[in-house]
Chain A
Amino acid sequence: MAEILSLHDAVARYVEDGATVAMEGFTHLIPFAAGHEVIRQGKRDLTLIRMTPDLIYDQLIGAGCARKVIFSWGGNPGVGSLHRLRDAVEKGWPRRIEILEHSHAAMACAFEAGAAGLPMAVLRGYVGSDLPKVNNQIKFIECPFTGERLAAVPSIRPDVSIVHAQKADRAGNVLVEGIIGVQKEAVLAAKHSIVTVEEVVDELAVEPNACVIPGWAISAIAVAERGSLPSYAHGYYDRNNRFYKEWDAIARDRDAFTQWLDDHVYNAGGATQ
């Protein structure tokens, strides 16, 4: 049964140093407010899982929260590189991080397998790719029925998953609308989960086939208004594409990044940019 907590308390309770954390949201509904709270609380040695690290993990990596990053596409969409991710991988600043790379299909399947309680996911993937040579978590198995060679990856079972959604009702039932990514799978695959929402309402008023995550399958709900900016919340506000472009210059330079972090995270008291 989801408890409605402050974002501070939810992160303090469920995100421990050294934890495996998945903050999901496929371009849409990225939980930036929660990511910033993790940075403010100075969490360390996290294994961060996300299909697209995006600016949120660029910020967490640059702030020194990550020990390892598991991902499938690590760019700034439509803009270029994630410079904090690159600086950590190429130069070890602010610390060296380990990376494990997958493809989108494999990670999506691994989240789904985690939600399904299975130890691994099977897919027709990685044929002819060099990725299995550099990621020992990619194996090949033979289908016992047809003999076809298929790829297998371990399921994703985070200690805690954090996602953002449009709204919850007072029992903590959550409605996710628009591009739903792997949010539901991430929540169901994790031991604990935090869902930040734009608002808590009396009635969710959902259509029969809407993407709803029941409150009894979530650990904590926290209200974070505009909590996914500069990503967006379908029906609430648009993606701040201009900021995604501006991030390139901020993240390119260690000093500019550190200054940005001071102004917009450490001294921002929970407000997002």
Chain B
Amino acid sequence: MSLDYTSSEMMTVTAARALENGMTCFVGIGLPSEAANLARLTHAPDVVLIYESGTLQTKPEVLPLSIGDGELCESALTTVSVPEMFRYWLQGGHVSVGFLGTAQIDRFANLNTTLIGDYHDPKVRLPGGGGAPEIATNAHEVFITLKHSKRTFVKDVDFVTTLGFGRDGKGRDGVPNIGRGPTRVITDLCVLKPDPETKELTVVSLHPGVTREDVIEATGWEIRFADELESTPEPSTHELEILRELKERTDRKHSGQ
């Protein structure tokens, strides 16, 4: 039996499953926030969600449009100042996983959210770093989620806003007090993990119905596949139901009703 679901839903559910009960997750806005809240509403009710606006252990009823929506504060255990958030809670080592989105990612999981083209003559200006540069190095590990395409998966990012494993895969070697970095990347096609030796992103699991060719076609470098390639489990009816309800509540709220 096969359920009816979209590739976006497949991505969100797979990203949500990466979070475990008991983790403390520093949540980026957008896809990571959707996945983190789905996890909280399904298999990980005790996952602690933290947003950079200072909201600690928050349980929003609808997904926030911005990182500082009132919903996040009202449903939080407590709200601290932004300097306290970054200094005590993130840099202080209390975050087990940072969950990030990005505009561009490269084969060593470096993230670019700054610009496309040359810094002083950009083709496209993107929003910039925000919390990501320090989330990626101070959290114990990092999950990344984004849609898979040749535009987003490039061999070398135009600008390293946020460190994955550096231009050569050795960017974290010998650096004291640094997290493990990206441990998995979840897309709408597959799950990738860094090779234990080279740190190059490698496909470890294909989503149902996705072929190797689909991934090769959507990746801007010669992508490698794990020897024992897995098939990502399908979303359950329960997960899809909760996700759809969450998105519907969110749309209703943000359209001003």
Q: CB within 8 Å of B: which residues of A?
A: 26-28, 51-52, 71-75, 77-79, 81-82, 85-86, 89-90, 101-106, 108-109, 111-112, 123-131, 134, 148, 178-182, 184-185, 211, 232, 234, 238-242, 244-245
Q: For chain A, what secondary structure do more than half of its interface residues adopt (helix, strand, loop), or is it mixed?
A: loop
B114 to chain A minimum Cβ distance, whole angstroms, is 7
| Minimum CB distance partner of A235 in chain B | B70
| Minimum CB distance partner of B176 in chain A | A148
B172 contacts across to A, CB distance below 8 A: 128
Report yes or no: B133 in contact with A129, Cβ–Cβ below 8 A: yes
> A28-B53, A131-B161, A134-B119 given as contacts; is B137 within 8 A of A77 (CB)?
no
Tell me if B36 counts as interface (CB < 8 A to partner A).
Answer: no
Chain B interface size, as a band, is 35 or more
Report yes or no: B127 in contact with A242, Cβ–Cβ below 8 A: no
Report yes or no: A234 in contact with B125, Cβ–Cβ below 8 A: no
B242 contacts across to A, CB distance below 8 A: none
What is the bound-complex CA distance between A78 and B86, given in angstroms? Answer: 21
Between B66, B114, B176, the greatest number of chain A beta carbons within 10 A of the residue's beta carbon is seen for B66
15 residue pairs bridging A and B, Cβ less than 8 Å apart: A26-B68, A51-B82, A74-B127, A74-B128, A81-B125, A86-B125, A89-B122, A89-B125, A90-B122, A103-B132, A103-B134, A104-B129, A123-B86, A128-B172, A242-B256
A-B complex: 9 closest residue pairs judged by Cβ atoms: A27-B68, A128-B163, A75-B127, A77-B66, A73-B130, A78-B65, A105-B134, A105-B86, A108-B83
A79 to chain B minimum Cβ distance, whole angstroms, is 8
A106 contacts across to B, CB distance below 8 A: 134
What is the bound-complex CA distance between A111 and B160, given in angstroms? Answer: 25
Of the candidates A77, A81, A104, A184, which one forms a contact with B131 in the assembled complex, judged by CB atoms under 8 Å apart?
A104
B73 contacts across to A, CB distance below 8 A: 28, 178-179, 234
Of the candidates A86, A179, A242, which one forms a contact with B55 in the assembled complex, judged by CB atoms under 8 Å apart?
A179
Near A by CB (< 8 A), chain B positions 10-45 give 29-30
Tell me if B166 counts as interface (CB < 8 A to partner A).
Answer: yes
B87 contacts across to A, CB distance below 8 A: 105, 108-109, 112, 123
